[in-house]
Amino acid sequence: MLIKISLENFKSFDQKEELSMISSSKIQGNKNHRIQIKQTKLLKNAVVYGANASGKSNLVKAFAFIKTTIMDGLPVTCIDDFCKNKEENKTKESVFELQFTVGDKFYAYGFSAILNQRKITEEWLYELMQDGGAHKLFIKEGYNAPILGDDVKLSTIEKSRFNVYSEDFAGQDSKLFLTEMNRGKKYDDKSKLLFFQQVFDWIMNNIIVITPNMGISNTEAYYNDESLENISKLIQTFDTGITEIKTKKITIEEMSNMIPAEIVQGIFNQLISQMKISDAQVVQMSWRVDGGFFNVRFIQGNSEPEITTLVLKHGKSVFDFNFVEESDGTKRLFDLIDMLLTERPDTVFVVDELERSLHPKLTERFLKLFMEAHDGTNMQLIFTTHEDTIMDQVLFRRDEIWFVERDIDNSTKIYSLDRFKERYDKKLSKAYLEGRYGAIPVFKHFSFKKGE
């Protein structure tokens, strides 16, 4: 489970800001919104409010940026991703850190980089202890070879292997050592280096980022008839008019006719990179883009991927409907539907503008279904929204509600509703819109010039 994310000098984030999933001990309501791991109680939800251009989407982009950098190294576009509020930020380090649990172990993984130079300056991984201490697992500084912490005791064979990997990686400053230690590397179940694989797998597979314009999932749901039937039944409850969902095979050429070829190639490249790094026999992904909904599967040894798209039935109509013909709200539901059906344990869904194109009642129903579906499980949902009707202490705890706003220097700040210590019966949405918590638009006066 995610414990916290912290950022510094990334897009609108200047100084270090963090969003924490550690629950407040003073809040007694909605106790089922917490999961206890050892002595730590973690929240299952985080709702992030803020005005337009406040930096909400940049928080979501930070999750995606971390995953992209782990997969492929610093992207070419990152040279403009530093916080541009100050001139000195161009040559200042940007810092990214995730704290999370894998099983019952607590980790802190992060890296720093001078983004404008596409240069990673430091990378680290620590195991966090319940007494507040931390054991260093590895650290890489500058061009130096990565080194293990003193508590990592290796056998002679493993130590020799690690030294080779470490020395070969010395001088590398655009890619991460965590990635290198998962590039075709094999670890047995008793390996003292197994943490490299566990941490990599958790970040890459258990953090799912969904944006308003592109939904991405590694679900199995669209690959078998039984799960498609479940999706059909579930989608009917949202009053979309859809009565049945099927898939049909299409060619690469047909897919390229539906969406731009560069997007198609980007999808393929991402899956091919994932296959190379993980040495998997099969990799697959489902994508929703403006032109349609696609399931892409690469099988080791096959020259071309298997591609399917969705075909939808409406009522008693004898005609099939293509995904692109559906309303924006229905398309948005397909981005989110896997969140209700998934049985992948310990997943963190990070969703930008969850309510995009959805009726407020539909948004509320979706959230209640999500909580019901994953009650008692290690499933987390972090999402940004403008929908004030769900700002309700019956639906969410105070420490699950967060605000994002820009300060006088135009830098993004994050803070929790919990700091306001509101009564349980307080009408939060009314107080929010009145400006009590900040994070709302501040308008300036504008005068229309009228003719004589």
Q: What is the pLDDT of residues 100-137, one digit of tens each?
A: 999 999 999 999 999 999 999 999 999 999 888 999 99
Query: Per residue in 400-416, pLDDT tens?
Result: 999 999 888 899 999 88
Residue 430 has pLDDT above 70, yes or no: no
Q: How confident is residue 283, by pLDDT bands cut at 50, 70 and 90?
A: confident
Cβ(337)–Cβ(234) below 8 Å? yes
CA nearest neighbour of 432 among 384, 381, 399, 389: 389
Token representation of residue 391: 């700002």
What is the model's pLDDT at position 230?
87
Say how far apart CA 363 and CA 245 lie, in whole Å.
22
Q: How confident is residue 249, by pLDDT bands cut at 50, 70 and 90?
A: very high
The strand pair at 292-299 and 306-314 is best described as antiparallel
Say how far apart CA 193 and CA 189 lie, in whole Å.
10
What is the model's pLDDT at position 425?
42
Residue 57 has pLDDT above 90, yes or no: yes
Q: What is the mean pLDDT of the chain?
A: 88
Among the listed ranges 208-217, 342-351, 418-427, which one has the minimum average pLDDT value?
418-427
Say how far apart CA 432 and CA 209 lie, in whole Å.
27
Q: What is the DSSP letter of 9?
A: S
Q: How confident is residue 443, by pLDDT bands cut at 50, 70 and 90?
A: very low
What is the model's pLDDT at position 89?
97
Q: Which residues contact 88 (CB under 8 A, 6 or more apart)?
A: none
Q: How confident is residue 433, by pLDDT bands cut at 50, 70 and 90?
A: very low
What is the model's pLDDT at position 431?
52
Cβ(363)–Cβ(381) below 8 Å? no
Kindly report the pTM of this predicted structure: 0.88
- C-alpha distances (whole Å) from 172 to each of 67, 279, 427 are 19, 22, 54
Residue 435 has pLDDT above 70, yes or no: no
Instruction: Classify 33 in phi/psi space as left (phi over 0), alpha (psi -120 to 50) or beta.
Output: alpha
